[in-house]
Amino acid sequence: MADLLLGKPVGDALSEKTAALAEELTAQGIQPTLAIVRVGERPDDLSYERGACKRAEALGIAVRKFLLPEDASQDDVLAAIAQVNDDASIHGCLMFRPLPKGIDEAAVCNALDPAKDVDGITAGSLAGVFMDTGVGFPPCTAQACVEILDHYGFDVEGKSVAVVGRSLVIGKPVAMMLLARNATVTLCHSRSRELPTICREADIVVYATGRPRAYSLEHFSGGQTVLDVGINVDEEGNLCGDVDFAAAEPVVGAITPVPRGVGSVTTAVLMRHVVEAAVACK
Amino acid sequence: MADLLLGKPVGDALSEKTAALAEELTAQGIQPTLAIVRVGERPDDLSYERGACKRAEALGIAVRKFLLPEDASQDDVLAAIAQVNDDASIHGCLMFRPLPKGIDEAAVCNALDPAKDVDGITAGSLAGVFMDTGVGFPPCTAQACVEILDHYGFDVEGKSVAVVGRSLVIGKPVAMMLLARNATVTLCHSRSRELPTICREADIVVYATGRPRAYSLEHFSGGQTVLDVGINVDEEGNLCGDVDFAAAEPVVGAITPVPRGVGSVTTAVLMRHVVEAAVACK
């Protein structure tokens, strides 16, 4: 029976500090404010947005929504980003991705004022993660993984970590963040040979490929720690992770469930970034 | 007996294309030009500089030197970078590092015009390597490793690569470049546990720590490919790599020697970048 690494206690501990900082700022006449830019109405975006708004409200953070129709043009999205940039009362921006086809996502991301890039989508923030300079904010989900390991007392120094998936939202940045904490990090992906062996031999494995229940018994070994970043909907309409939880849980030492795992820490990280961005522009 | 992966044929093949491009540019009235910024007179800088100037001359690339005394201030170095930036006849800049103590190296690096950053020292170029966008030039030594693998026909797709050393000059960027070619990449360093095992089990190992002959028999296995990026001087004053070559050569399948290995490709990569930068600003 694995230890369940629930996200709630991690998010709550983070949020406690965030709420205190938000209160201080508000007392000084600064209302920490998050802009949400959403194009279209994808169910998972809407679901995340509801969670984010709820948490923002609880923490005393205001939310301003910039909602665009699914057929919005690149210029429409760029115009929304420009509004966010120009509005001094907005401290951070969450933009849902992927953007609809035909929009140059990299161009839109890089149009955002780096100081408001609380979800690590600009080249400047990602360079900060890669170079380990502390410049900018890392992507929230990548940082959520690190916060969970910290909260539950896992010291990664010298440990072997396998990261499965190499996106700029999770895989690559979390690899760099754990490397900065002196883990030995292996970046794996769909072309990796002998993936089950690599995963079994690692002390910690981060699964972040968005493939529902794709990682089964052959990937797990006793005592290891598993972070499951995937949030997928299975054929019966149930939420599930990238990991076959039923297969992993009796074997591994500790695992984040889906739901109630990594995902529930991400919005807490986002809110902390918003408040930190508000502090930085004082 | 391992195959010797000599750098010269790789550098020559690269240089052939570079010379042709340089000739075309010159015929159009554009003299491809490299600026070299050097602070002090470290012997290894001087040695690299001689090699670079010789190769530049052979390829029809002009060199402009900005030489500063060892006690130069940060403002002095920034002034040299500003001159490089403002001079439209200069297409690329090589600045020797590390800079003397007391100078904020990151600030100096980021002062360079990204378009002239032919050695991947700015945050923008490193973000390009991390994000795999093709923006900017990667650090020359990291690219030299990739050029050697390409030239000798090693397809890294699906292969396991261990990178020992995590500098921004070699370790991290070469890891990202090989990941982009679908290798499974493990980033190792001085805190990594069981490093010999990790190295033995990899198909390809890149050693880049600057520790003379630090990697001995226990790190090698039959058939694997070894790239030795280290350029060190041993106690007898002889050049040597990070790898104990005498121990590795009878065991591994292929290895770059030191000297005559990776180092001899780096200046060829640098010159190609200069010419590409000159083409880009036409």
> What token pair was written down for B113?
């015009």
Check whether A267 has a pLDDT greater than 90. yes
Could you give the residue range(s) of every CATH 3.40.50.10860 domain in chain B? 28-113
Query: Hey, are the CB atoms on B158 and A123 less than 8 Å from each other?
Result: no
B165 is in an annotated binding site: yes
Q: Phi and psi dihedrals of B255, rounded to 5? A: -155, 145
Residue B12 C-alpha, separation from nearest chain A C-alpha, in angstroms: 32
Rounded to an integer, the average pLDDT of A224-249 is 95
A278: confidence class by pLDDT, cuts 50, 70, 90: very high
Topology of domain B28-113 in CATH is Rossmann fold (3.40.50)
Could you give the residue range(s) of every CATH 3.40.50.720 domain in chain A? 140-263
B118: confidence class by pLDDT, cuts 50, 70, 90: very high
B231 is in an annotated binding site: yes
Q: State whether residue A95 is helix, strand or coil.
A: strand
Nearest chain B alpha carbon to A133: B106
Q: What is the DSSP code (8-state) at residue A243?
A: B
Rounded to an integer, the average pLDDT of A22-34 is 97
Of B130, B182, B191, the CB nearest to A158: B191
A167 is in an annotated binding site: yes
Test the A interface: residue of B109, B131, B203 with most A CBs within 10 Å: B131
Instruction: Report whether B239 contacts B233 (CB < 8 A).
Output: yes
Check whether A120 has a pLDDT greater than 90. yes
Of B127, B175, B193, the CB nearest to A158: B193
Beta bridge partners of B225: B204, B254
**pLDDT tens-digit series, residues A61-118:** 999 999 999 999 999 999 999 999 999 999 999 999 999 999 999 999 999 999 999 9
Q: What is the mean pLDDT of chain A?
A: 96
Q: State whether residue B43 is helix, strand or coil.
A: helix
Rounded to an integer, the average pLDDT of B257-266 is 96
Q: Which residues of B80-116 are buried (b: 16+ CB within 10 A; e: fewer)?
A: bbeebbeeeebbbbbbbeebbeebebeebbbbbbbbb
Confidence at residue A281, expressed as pLDDT on a 0 to 100 scale = 85
- Sequence-distant (6+) residues with CB within 8 A of B19 are B58, B59, B60
Check whether A242 has a pLDDT greater than 90. yes
Check whether B62 has a pLDDT greater than 90. yes
Query: Hey, are the CB atoms on B191 and A135 less than 8 Å from each other?
Result: no
* Percent over 70 (pLDDT), chain B: 100
Task: Tell me the one-letter amino acid at A168.
Answer: L
Q: Residue A182: list chain B partners with CB under 8 A.
A: 189, 191
Q: How far apart are CA B118 and CA B95, in angstroms?
A: 10
A221 is in an annotated binding site: no
> What token pair was written down for A198?
């690599």
Could you give the residue range(s) of every CATH 3.40.50.10860 domain in chain A? 29-113
Query: Hey, are the CB atoms on B175 and A157 less than 8 Å from each other?
Result: no
Query: Hey, are the CB atoms on B184 and A192 less than 8 Å from each other?
Result: yes
Q: Which residues of A27-54 are buried (b: 16+ CB within 10 A; e: fewer)?
A: eeebebbbbbbbbeeeeeeeebbeebbe
Q: What is the mean pLDDT of chain B?
A: 96
Name the CATH superfamily, with its identifier, for domain A29-113.
Leucine Dehydrogenase, chain A, domain 1 (3.40.50.10860)
Check whether B282 has a pLDDT greater than 90. no
CATH number of B140-263, picked from 3.40.50.720, 3.30.160.250, 3.40.50.1820, 3.40.50.300: 3.40.50.720
* Percent over 70 (pLDDT), chain A: 100
Confidence at residue A1, expressed as pLDDT on a 0 to 100 scale = 85
